[in-house]
Amino acid sequence: MLKRRRKKLEKNFINAQIKTLRKALKLNQAAFGDRIGLKQGAISKMELDGGTVTDQNIKLICEKFNVRREWLTEGTGEMLQETEDTLFAAFAERNHLSPDDQNLARYMLQLTSEERQKVITFILGMAESIRQGRPETQPPAIVPATVIPGALPYSQQEAAEIAAVHEKYRAMREGAVPNEAIMERAQLHQELDAALDEKNTATNSPSNVSSEKPA
Domain count, the chain: 3
The per-residue pLDDT for 92 is 86
Last-in-domain residue among 37, 54, 80: 80
Range 119-145 average pLDDT: 68
Element (H, E) at 100: helix 99-110
Same domain, 75 and 91: no
> Residues 142-156: what's their mean pLDDT?
43
- The whole domain housing 188 covers 156-201
Please indicate whether residue 155 or residue 35 has the higher confidence score (pLDDT).
Answer: 35
Query: How much of the chain exceeds pLDDT 90, in percent?
Result: 28
- H or E segment to which residue 172 belongs: helix 156-173
Q: Is residue 142 part of a domain?
A: no
Which region among 67-76, 105-114, 190-199 has the lowest average model confidence (pLDDT)? Answer: 190-199
pLDDT tens-digit series, residues 36-82: 999 999 999 999 988 999 999 999 999 999 899 999 999 988 898 87
Confidence grade of residue 15 (pLDDT, cut at 50, 70, 90): very high
Phi, psi dihedrals of residue 157, rounded to the nearest 5°: -65, -45
In a domain, 146, yes or no: no
Q: What is the DSSP string of 37-69?
A: T--HHHHHHHHSTT----HHHHHHHHHHHTB-H
pLDDT of residue 61: 95
Three-class SS state of 80: strand
The answer to pTM > 0.85 is no
Looking at residue 153, its pLDDT comes to 46
Using CA atoms of 13, 19, 21, 23 in order, give the dihedral in degrees to the nearest 10: -150
